[in-house]
Structure 1
Amino acid sequence: MTRKQKHSVEARDGLEAVELGQPGFAQPQPTPDPTRFFIRHSSDKQAYKTIDELNREHRLKPMPFPDPRGFSDSKPEPVLTLDQVLAETTTASAISAAGQLVFHCIGDTGNVRGPETEELVADKMSSDFDERNSADIPAFFFHLGDVIYNFGEAKYYYDQFYDPYRDYPVPIVALAGNHDGMVAPGVQTPTLQAFLENFCQSDFVVTPEAGGLSRTAQIQPGVFYTFEAPFVRIVCLYSNTLEDPGVIADETVGDSQLTYLQAALRRVKHEKFTGALIIAHHHPTYTAGSQHGWSIVMQAQIDAACEAAGVWPHAVLSGHAHNYQRFTRVHGKTQIPYIIAGNGGHALARLGRRGEPPLRTPMVIQKATGNTDQVTLESYDDTHYGYLRIVVSAAVLRIEYHPADDGAGVKTPDDAVTVDLATRTTS
């Protein structure tokens, strides 16, 4: 099916996903960037007026969601591996033999106004597949949520996801952001419906939302799971649908994610896993001067699980705030980077108020007092779109930040942090 046939696809009712039995990624031949969306995004002004009123009245709550496939008390940790999403068993061994894994990471990529900014990031990321050393080529893209705006509607998946990444040649796995699970006021669509259809299939299928492009839906077990690749485990959490704060467990959504998190951390301890451990969720733990606040209760729940297991992450990744921010949390003798990578294509958010001087870094945003850890804002970018390039070996985890408008000819990061996996210190 060609891109010109896209409108005829939308016109047919009752379309179903087509099973392929094997994954698909980029188009066989590179295609030009689109200059407009196929579907005009209508205004959400009235919907947000209603949402703001409900927020002021404290009437909005997180939304219950389905547990992942196979999740149970006896099997509390859903796991997805890189070899599974590639449908082959040689990738992990090849990466291990090369001595390092490279992958991309960013969130908040959807855009309601047009394709230009998300195409800017996607094109810059695609330039990383042209490398002198094959070990430097990314193996996958881990998405930090808010794939689609504003309410995760299926009809916008082609414009905001499939088309921007039509030439991206490796798997895209994701966690769900608040906009991926939000439901517009007055709409009866179940929460996360389109996200589950396009990221949580049980087999490799092409969904109607792909509009005939080659990328198959992902086979994630659900909205929380452990993603495993050589040298790294990513513990993926779903922080639900509120603008703030992030919620992983409460009386409305239950505690299935806490059960999962505890099991995942216990397995790290039991297996004496020596690779990089990353915890990822859409809502950030800390922000500096952004319109979004801290998720204090969520962080306390994660900290309690880490404390009980005796296992702490080497890094924590999130999106939601539409910019790049890097913090260092000093916990005992360990230094943990907390990174916001939410400038993947949606509107940028400045950290300071209009007319104020820019923030100077490093800046301590939380002092160590008693049981409270010191947290320092080390670096930020609130004026450019960009992404993370993450490199993991048996010894170190290196997280690089690359602005997109540097262009394909620049491969020097604007910011970077390296974590020694053994000493858990940063440089």
Structure 2
Amino acid sequence: MAQRPKRHKGHTHKGSTGTGDTNGTAQGVPGSGRPGPEQPGPSFGQPEATPDPTKFVVYHPTDAAAYKQIDELNREHKLAPIPFPAPRGLPEPRLTLAEVLGPNGAAAEQKITSAGQMVFHSVGDTGNTRGPDSQNEVADKMLSDFVEQNASDVPVFFLHLGDVIYNFGEAKYYYDQFYDPYRDYPAPIVALAGNHDGMVEPESTATTLTAFLENFCADGDFHTTAEAGGLNRTAQIQPGVFYTFEAPFVRFFVLYSNTLEDPGVISSEGGTWPDLGDSQLTYLKAALQRAKDENFAGALILAHHHPAYTAGSKHGWSIKLREEVDAICDQVGLWPHAVLSGHAHNYQRFTRAHGQMQIPYIISGNGGHGIAKLVRKGQPPLRTPSVLDSGDGDTVTLESYDDQKYGYMRLVVNAQQLRIEYHPADDGDASKTPDDMVIVDIATRLIVPMSRPGGN
């Protein structure tokens, strides 16, 4: 049985004096020290479980004035997406699970392949400016997945769907909103950048994505950053804000949908945003074409922060983003088995019937920031299933949602199927029963029932 020590709730996290201790707790105020030395391999969770924090180390002032200005600029259509640094390895930046796992990564991948399945977590919108409680609730529930009867059921990594930090991606908040909540998470965390990760405060001289790139896109050997505040987790080595991530049984195509509240933007959109260029479109075509040329037989997952569809009352659809992706998929002749997003602060699962395919489009944006209801106050809740007017000729059905609780996805993939589970955080470690689940047959690209009891 795979075991992971529990951490204790409701106690202050030790270690803000700058001296540290033998239990692997924080050794200083974040941002007060220099990044740690280069080391031969990555580091993830603390060596021993530590208590949940009850308050932030760094003061989080209100951003009400800045958001009043942003809202006004939005109303006047004076905000634009922001150009970003080019990833390493164009036209198709790549990252493998073996690289993320370090010196023993190839052996770990072999073990996963031999076991016949891989499990991983995914959720977005985890940062919280008001305190650590909601983030702790989700992180603690995710940690319970590391205690399993079968070792092959233990998660191998966490794919973060963006908005790691609020509100403007400041480096000084990475300790409270990222490193401390996941200090005991004993596996790699790879991420895509959300709009808040790339936003800069109006009239600020800060550069977009600086802290995200420092903590997730390190170039070179594994090292700890000042933002980690003395915790063990090393910076991730992603090649940039868009990339292909390869792991046993699955390949991810990660896009950056930029900094607007709505919609998501991944290109110049035919000259509308000339400073952005079309490198992501070139990338996606190259990545899909390579997967097709290699006859890749595993699951293909597209991930971007802004959703293609949403039933919510707050955030809208990113129609142009979806159209651009669709055009490339049509041109190459290869489509994803599932599309994952965040941004809307709730859970929503859609089925898109496209030709002979059934593609789940899933929003998992209730990772800790704040729950957004899907209907306005006084309106009745949504009934599912419910068919949306997609406007593209496809049938898009809202199958399930949760706009009441925090939660996350647990995904299980093997050579035949991709299974996506949704788990509410308030179930705690006493329950491993998902509130929602969808299974995609990789070969037929159809949604199917569980192939056998208790397994995938």
2:80 pairs, out of 35, 48, 61, with: 61
Where does residue 65 of structure 2 map in the other structure? Answer: 46
Tell me whether 1:70 sits opposite 2:70 in the alignment: no
Tell me if structure 2 keeps the 8 A contact 1:348–1:383.
Answer: yes
Whichever residue aligns with residue 95 of structure 1, its letter is I
Tell me if structure 1 keeps the 8 A contact 2:44–2:188.
Answer: yes
Where does residue 244 of structure 1 map in the other structure? Answer: 262
2:403 pairs, out of 373, 382, 386, with: 382
SS in 2 for 1:407: helix
Where does residue 235 of structure 1 map in the other structure? Answer: 253
Tell me whether 1:360 sits opposite 2:377 in the alignment: no
Greater displacement, 252-261 / 380-389: 252-261
Where does residue 213 of structure 1 map in the other structure? Answer: 231
1:268 pairs, out of 287, 291, 297, with: 291
Tell me if structure 2 keeps the 8 A contact 1:290–1:321.
Answer: no
Where does residue 97 of structure 2 map in the other structure? Answer: 82
Alignment of 1:20-31 (within 5 A): 20-31=39-50
SS in 1 for 2:429: coil
Where does residue 314 of structure 2 map in the other structure? Answer: 291
1:372 pairs, out of 362, 373, 393, with: 393
Cα distance in 2, alignment partners of residues 383 and 168 from structure 1: 25
- Aligned-pair distance for 1:9? 4.5
Q: Which runs of 4+ in 1 moved over 4 A?
A: 6-13
Cα distance in 1, alignment partners of residues 332 and 212 from structure 2: 31
- Aligned-pair distance for 1:10? 4.9
Alignment RMSD: 1.4
Cα distance in 1, alignment partners of residues 32 and 137 from structure 2: 32
Cα distance in 1, alignment partners of residues 258 and 240 from structure 2: 13
Where does residue 6 of structure 2 map in the other structure? Answer: none
Segments of 5+ residues of structure 2 without an aligned counterpart are 1-13, 19-25, 269-273, 449-456
Whichever residue aligns with residue 329 of structure 1, its letter is R
Tell me if structure 1 keeps the 8 A contact 2:31–2:227.
Answer: no
Cα distance in 2, alignment partners of residues 269 and 179 from structure 1: 34
Where does residue 129 of structure 2 map in the other structure? Answer: 112
Tell me if structure 2 keeps the 8 A contact 1:27–1:167.
Answer: yes
SS in 2 for 1:408: helix
% identical aligned pairs: 66
Cα distance in 2, alignment partners of residues 8 and 286 from structure 1: 42
Cα distance in 1, alignment partners of residues 343 and 28 from structure 2: 35
Summarize deviations over 1:87-109 as a string: whole Å, max 9, x none. 12111110000000000000000
Cα distance in 1, alignment partners of residues 73 and 293 from structure 2: 45
SS in 2 for 1:35: coil
SS in 2 for 1:4: coil
Tell me if structure 1 keeps the 8 A contact 2:160–2:192.
Answer: yes
- Aligned-pair distance for 1:18? 2.8
Alignment of 1:299-378 (within 5 A): 299-366=322-389, 372-378=393-399
Cα distance in 2, alignment partners of residues 49 and 18 from structure 1: 41
Whichever residue aligns with residue 275 of structure 1, its letter is G
- Aligned-pair distance for 1:186? 1.9
So what's the TM-score if we normalise by structure 2? 0.90
- Aligned-pair distance for 1:17? 4.8
Whichever residue aligns with residue 88 of structure 2, its letter is R
Summarize deviations over 1:117-145 as a string: whole Å, max 9, x none. 01100000000000000000000000000
Tell me if structure 1 keeps the 8 A contact 2:30–2:175.
Answer: no
Whichever residue aligns with residue 278 of structure 1, its letter is I
Summarize deviations over 1:337-395 as a string: whole Å, max 9, x none. 0000000000100000101110000000126x7x5111000000000000000000000
Cα distance in 2, alignment partners of residues 363 and 11 from structure 1: 48
Where does residue 17 of structure 2 map in the other structure? Answer: 4
Tell me if structure 2 keeps the 8 A contact 1:3–1:212.
Answer: no
Segments of 5+ residues of structure 1 without an aligned counterpart are none
Cα distance in 2, alignment partners of residues 63 and 296 from structure 1: 19
Query: Closer, same or farther in 2 for the Cα pair 1:3/1:170, shift >3 Å?
Result: farther
1:421 pairs, out of 439, 442, 454, with: 442
Query: Closer, same or farther in 2 for the Cα pair 1:422/1:185, shift >3 Å?
Result: same
Cα distance in 2, alignment partners of residues 10 and 166 from structure 1: 13
- Aligned-pair distance for 1:8? 5.3
Cα distance in 1, alignment partners of residues 151 and 17 from structure 2: 35
Cα distance in 1, alignment partners of residues 377 and 40 from structure 2: 52
Query: Closer, same or farther in 2 for the Cα pair 1:245/1:135, shift >3 Å?
Result: same
- Aligned-pair distance for 1:3? 4.0
Tell me if structure 1 keeps the 8 A contact 2:31–2:229.
Answer: no
Cα distance in 2, alignment partners of residues 10 and 116 from structure 1: 19
Q: How many residues get paired? A: 420
Cα distance in 2, alignment partners of residues 12 and 330 from structure 1: 52
Tell me whether 1:92 sits opposite 2:105 in the alignment: no
Cα distance in 2, alignment partners of residues 320 and 68 from structure 1: 23
Alignment of 1:156-167 (within 5 A): 156-167=173-184
1:253 pairs, out of 276, 282, 286, with: 276
Query: Closer, same or farther in 2 for the Cα pair 1:353/1:12, shift >3 Å?
Result: closer
Greater displacement, 405-414 / 4-13: 4-13
